[in-house]
Chains A and B, each alone.
Chain A
Amino acid sequence: MEKEVILIVEDDPKSLTLTRDLLQISGYTTIEATNGEQGVELAKANKPDLILMDIMMPKMDGYSACKAIKADEATKKIPVVMLTAVGYELNKELARRIGADGYVTKPFSRQELMAAISPFLSAF
C-alpha cells in the first residue's frame, strides 16, 4: 500500500526534524513547509493526506494558514492537526473555530502524536 503523505508546516528546524523523524519511524511519507504561506501552497500542490500545522510562524501564522486551507475548495477536505506550544489556549473550541480537525500540545511523545493523527488516516 502506498505510504500516506503528511505535510508538516513548522518553522523551527529542530521541531521539524523531530516531527518528520517521528512520522517516518511510524511509516509515513512527509513533505515540509517552514511557514504558513508555503504550507498553503504545498497543500494545494500535493494534496497530502494530512497536515500538521505549527501556530507561531513567520509570514503567515498557523491560524491563517489553516483558515486558508479550509476556505479553499480544493484543500478543505484535508484534515489539519494543529501543533501548539502555547499551553492550553488552543482548546477544542478554538480548533473548531478555525476549522482545524485536531491538535497536539508540544512537547509531545511519539505516542501522543500518533494518537492525534491516527483517527484521520486509514493505515497505521
Chain B
Amino acid sequence: MQITYHPYILLPLVTLFIALVIVVRAWRYRTRPIAMIFLVMMLALAEWSLAAFLEHASLELPAKVLWIKMTYFGITTIPVTWLIFTLRYTNREKWLTRRNIAILAILPVVTLVMVWTNNIHHLMWKDIWLDTSLSLPIDVVTHNAWFWVYAIYAYSLILLGTVCLFTTFLRSTGIYRKQVGAMLFASLVPWVANFLFIGGIEPFSVVDPTPLAFAITGVIFYWGLAQLQLLDIVPIAHKAIFTSIADGVIVLDTQHRIIELNPAAEYIFRCTSTDVIGQPLSRVLPEQAGLTELQPEVTKMETEIVLGEGKTQRYYRTFISPIHAQGRLNGHMLLLHDDTERRKAEIESRERARLEAELTERERSAEILRHRLELEETIARISSRFVSISDIDAAINDSLADIGKLGKVSRTYLFLLRDEETTMDNTHEWCAEGVSSQIDSLKNLPCGMFPWWMTKLSNGEVIHVTDVSKMPAEASAEKEMIESQDIKSVLVLPVFVSERLTGFIGLDSVTETVEWSDNDLAVLRISSEIIGNAFERKQAEHSIEVRVKELTCLYRVSQILNKPNADLDTVLAEAVGFIPDGWQSPEITCARVIIDDKEFKTDNFAVTEWKQSSDIIAGSEKIGALEVYYLEEKGKSDEGPFIKEERYLIDSLAGMLGEVTQLKQADIELTRLYEETKSLNLQLEARVKERTKQLEEAVTAAKVASQAKSEFLASMSHELRTPLTAIIGFSQVLQEQYLGNLNEKQAEYVSDIVDSGKHLLALINDILDLSKVEAGKMELDISSVKIKDLLQNSLVMIKEKALAHSISLETQTAEDIEGLEIMADERKLKQVMFNLLSNAVKFTPDGGAIKVEGRREGEELIISVSDTGVGISSQEQKRIFEEFYQVSGGVKDKTPGTGLGLSLTKGIVEMHGGRIWVESEGLGKGSRFTFTLPI
C-alpha cells in the first residue's frame, strides 16, 4: 500500500488526533453508561477518521475502495451512539430499552452488509472511478439508492438527538441551561459540516468535513460532561444521596432561585421540581419562615421553619450553607430536616408539666376555697342566728360554740361592760370537752384591773397572744390572770355597739399554743361585729317599741279629744283612760286630769309616792293639771321613777289637753260671734248695695256733668269768640283806615276797642285752657322739639316789645343742649316761654336786661328766664302761681294781665312732667323763673 501526502489527508488526521485525545481523557470514566456510549462514539469517530485518512492517502482505486468500505464501520456506529448519548444526557433513559436499541441497530447493520456486498448489487454506489485529471487522483463515488436511505436514517437519528437537546434546553435554567445550550450548539456543528460537504463547497467537496465536525462536537461534549462532573463516580453517589435522602435539599443560585431540589424537598413543599425550578425560593417557602430575604453574604445559618397548620403542622430544622465554586459564591444549599417528632415530644412534655403545675395549683386553691367556705358557713350560721333576736343569749352561746370549734380552741366567751365601762361580766361561755367552765368566777370584775387590755380593745385592736411569756411588762395583770387559768394562747376581739366598746369575745387555748390565720381573724372579727350589731339592733328595737307605744297613746288621746261636736267632759273622761297605755308597764300606771273643778281618773287611780305631773294651760292661764303615778316602784334610774321620755310624754299630753280645752271653749264663743257677725254682715251688705247704687248714680251724674262741662266749654269758646271776632276784626279794619281816615279821638277809641278786645280774647283763651288743665282735658300734641330753636323763636315773639323799651335780650345755652331734641308739645312750650318772657318785659324797667338760659342736668332740661326787673317779695313768691293772683307794679303794658298766665304755665309744665319755680332776692332785684322738662 502506498501512502502519499497531500493536503486532503490533513483533515482526517486532525480529526483522528482529537478523537483519540478525547478517548484517552474520557477513558477513566468508562464505567459510567453515559461515558461508555460517549467513548464508543469517539472510537467510532477515530475509526472513521483513520479509514478516511487512509482512503485519501491511497493512490490506487482498489485500496481507496477498501478504505471507503472501512469508513462505514464508524459511519454506521456514530448516529446510533449519538442518539443514545443525547437521550442519556437529557434524562430520557427510559426509552433506551434493549428492544429499542436493537431496532435502532437494524439499519446500520443492513447498511454495513450492503457496503461489503456492493459488488453484487451496487445498491450503495454504482461505481467508483479515479479522477486523475488533477495533480492527485481522487476517487469519485456515484452513490446509489441505499446510500440515500441510510443517509436519511442517519440524519434522522442525529436530528432526533438534536431535538432532545433543544427541548431540554428550553426547559432548563441557570447553569444547566448554559450547559445544555453548549451541547446543543455542539450537536449543530455536524449539520453545518454536512451542508458544506453536500453543497460541494471547496475544499469540502472532496474531503468530507463531517468527521471533524463530530470531533469538535466531541470536544464540546467532553467539556460539558466534565463540567457537570457527570463523568465522575462521586457525583453518582451524590446523586443517589440527593435523591434518596430523607431530608429535603434545595439548591439556590445567587438570586435565590431554585436550581435543584430533591424528592424529599418536593414532598415537603408539595410541589414538583419542574414547577419550581427557576422560581424564587419565596414561591415554596412561606414568608414567615424568614428565609426569603436570605442575604448573599450569608455563610452558614441554622433556623427552624414551621409549615402547615394544626395536625399536619411540621417543624423543620433548616441548615443553610453557601456553595462556592472556583473561589466565588455560586448559590446556597438548604437542608430541611424534619424535626417534628422531637418538637412535638418537647411540646407535649412542656404541656404535661404545665398541666401538672395547674393541677397542683387548683388543688391548693380548692383547699383554700374549702377552708374559706367553712369560714363563710360559720359566719352565715352566726349571722342567721341573729336575724331575729327573740333569744339573743341562745344565739350568742351557739355562735361561741361555732367559733370555738372552728378555731379548735378550749374555750370561747363573751364579756360585757356596764356602769359606764367600769365593770365587766363574763356573760356567755362555751367550753370544749374536758375544759372547766370559768363563767361563774368572772363576774363583776373592775375594768381597771386590765388597763393594757382595755386600752387596746377601746382602740378597736385585736389582742392576739400566742406566747404568754412574751407579753409586755405593762400587761402584768393580764398575764397573771391568763397564767392562773393555764391558758397557752389567747385571742380577744372587741365588740362595739354604736361605736362604743361594749364588750369583747375571747378565745383561749389551754392545751396547745395556737396561731390564728388571717382568715380566722377575719371570721372572728366579723362574728364580733355581728354580735355587736345584734346588741345595737336589740337596743334600737326596744327604743322603737317604746316610741311606738308613746305615739299610739298620743294618737289615741288626740283622736278622742278632736271628736267633733263632743262634750268636753265626756272627751276628757275617755282620754284619761288611754294615758297609761303610753307607759312601758300600763298595768302599774294610773292617771288623773284636773280641769277647773272637775276631776277625771283612771279606774285604778291611787295616789302613790311615784308621781309625775304637768300643768294644763289654756292661753296663758293655768286651768288644771295632769298627774301620772306608778302604783309600785319601777326600776331604778338616775332621773327618778319617770325617765326623760315619760316626762316628755306627760308634758305633751298636758299641752294637748290644754289646747283642746281652750279650743272647745273658744268654739262656743266662736259660734256666738259667728251668729252675730252673720247678722252684721247682712246689714252691711244691704248698706253696701245701697251705697253702690248711690255711687253709681253719682258717677253717672258726674259723667253727665263732665260731658255737659265739656260741651259748655266748647260752646263758650265758640260763642264768646264769634262776637269778639267781629269786634276785633271790624275795629282793626277801622284802625287800618281802609274805609277812610279817622280823626285823632276816633283813632284813639278804635285802638282802645282793639286792645280791649284782644285782652278779652286772651282772658277767654286762658280761662278755657286753665279749665281744661284742671279737668284733665288738656291734650298734649307731642312731637320732637328742638330746644335751641324753641328758645330762639320765643325771643323773636317779644323782640319788638323789648326793643321798644331798650331792654336787652340774651340767650345762653350750654353746649350739651346743642341739637338736643325732646318729646313735647311745641306750641304749648312756646306759650310757656311767651308767658314768662312777656311777664319779664312787663316788669323790667327801660334799659334793663332779660336773659334766657338753657342747660342740662342729668335727665332734666333746665330753662330759666331772668330779668333785672322789680323783683318779687317772698310773700308774693308763694302765691304767684295761684289763679287770678297778680303782682302789682307791671310797668310796661297798659293792658293788665289776665292773672291766669302763670297758673296756666305751671299747669303746662307739670303736664310735661316738669317743675316750675321763681327766685328773687326781693323787690327791685329782679327775678328768675326756672322750669324743668324731662329729657
Contacts and interface: CB of A to CB of B under 8 A. Distances in A.
B733 A25 contact: yes
Q: Among B723, B729, B730, B765, which residue has the most Cβ atoms of chain A within 10 A?
A: B729
Interface in A78-106: 85-89, 91, 93, 106
A109 B728 CA distance: 8
A107 B733 contact: no
Interface string B743-784: 000000000000001000100010011000000000001000
A82 to B, nearest CB: 13
Given A87-B765, A87-B768, A93-B781, A56 B718 contact: yes
Contact of B721 (A14, A106, A110): A106
Contacts of B714: 86, 89
A14 B717 contact: no
Contacts of A87: 717, 721, 765, 768-769
Contacts of B729: 15, 18-19, 22, 107-109
B717 A107 contact: no
Given A85-B718, A87-B765, A106-B721, A18 B726 contact: yes
Interface in B677-736: 714, 717-718, 721-730, 732-733, 736
A106 B732 contact: no
Contacts of A56: 718
A113 to B, nearest CB: 9
A108 B725 CA distance: 7
Contacts, number: 62
A91 B827 CA distance: 10
Interface in A12-41: 12, 14-15, 18-19, 21-22, 25
B732 A109 contact: yes
Nearest to B769: A87
B361 to A, nearest CB: 107
Q: Among B726, B733, B738, B781, which residue has the most Cβ atoms of chain A within 10 A?
A: B726
Contacts of B723: 14
Contacts of B724: 106-107
Interface string A104-121: 001111100000000000
A111 to B, nearest CB: 9
Interface residues of B, number: 24
A88 B825 CA distance: 12
B827 A88 contact: yes
Contacts of B769: 87
Nearest to B772: A87
Interface residues of A, number: 21
B718 A107 contact: no
Contacts of B733: 18, 21-22, 25, 110
A7 to B, nearest CB: 19
B725 A85 contact: yes
A7 B542 CA distance: 115
Contacts of B732: 109-110
Contacts of B736: 110
Nearest to B713: A87
A73 B458 CA distance: 116
Interface string B53-72: 00000000000000000000
A15 B719 CA distance: 12
B722 A106 contact: yes
Chain B interface main SS type: helix
Interface in B222-241: none
Contact of B725 (A25, A86, A91, A106): A106
Chain A interface main SS type: loop
A15 B725 contact: yes
Q: Among A87, A89, A93, which residue has the most Cβ atoms of chain B within 10 A?
A: A87
A89 B777 CA distance: 11
A86 to B, nearest CB: 5
A111 B479 CA distance: 136
A107 B728 contact: yes
Contacts of A109: 728-729, 732
Given A15-B725, A18-B729, A107-B761, A86 B781 contact: no
Given A87-B768, A110-B732, A110-B736, A15 B718 contact: no
B38 to A, nearest CB: 140
A56 B781 CA distance: 23
Given A22-B733, A108-B725, A86 B761 contact: no
B718 A14 contact: no
A15 B725 CA distance: 7
A106 B764 CA distance: 12
Contacts of B757: 107
Contacts of A107: 721, 724-729, 757, 761
A86 B717 contact: yes
A2 to B, nearest CB: 23
Contacts of B765: 87
A89 B769 CA distance: 11
A41 to B, nearest CB: 24
A88 B714 CA distance: 11
Given A25-B738, A93-B781, A107-B761, A85 B728 contact: no
A34 to B, nearest CB: 14
B739 to A, nearest CB: 9
A15 B722 contact: yes
Given A87-B765, A87-B768, A91-B781, A18 B718 contact: no
Nearest to A91: B781
A88 B831 CA distance: 12
A109 B768 CA distance: 21
B721 A85 contact: yes
B88 to A, nearest CB: 135
A21 B765 CA distance: 26
B730 A18 contact: yes
Interface in B863-903: none
A110 B728 CA distance: 11
A109 B757 CA distance: 12
A16 to B, nearest CB: 10
Nearest to A15: B725
Nearest to B761: A107
A25 B729 CA distance: 13
Interface string A22-64: 1001000000000000000000000000000000100000000
A88 B718 CA distance: 12
B712 to A, nearest CB: 13
A91 B729 CA distance: 22
Nearest to B736: A110
Contacts of A108: 725, 729
Contacts of A19: 729
Contacts of A15: 722, 725-726, 729
A86 B726 contact: no
A85 B781 contact: no
Q: Among A14, A22, A85, A107, which residue has the most Cβ atoms of chain B within 10 A?
A: A107
B756 to A, nearest CB: 13
A86 B722 contact: no
B726 A85 contact: no
Nearest to A93: B781
A7 B718 CA distance: 22
Contacts of B725: 12, 14-15, 18, 85, 106-108
Contacts of B728: 107, 109
Interface string B130-155: 00000000000000000000000000
A95 to B, nearest CB: 12
Nearest to A54: B722
Given A18-B730, A87-B768, 17 more contacts: A12-B726, A14-B723, A14-B730, A15-B722, A15-B725, A18-B729, A85-B718, A86-B714, A86-B718, A87-B769, A89-B714, A106-B722, A107-B729, A107-B757, A109-B732, A110-B732, A110-B733
Interface of A: 12, 14-15, 18-19, 21-22, 25, 56, 85-89, 91, 93, 106-110
8 contacts: A14-B723, A14-B726, A18-B725, A18-B729, A18-B730, A85-B725, A86-B714, A87-B769
Closest 9 CB pairs of A and B: A85-B721, A107-B725, A14-B726, A18-B729, A106-B725, A107-B728, A85-B718, A25-B738, A106-B721
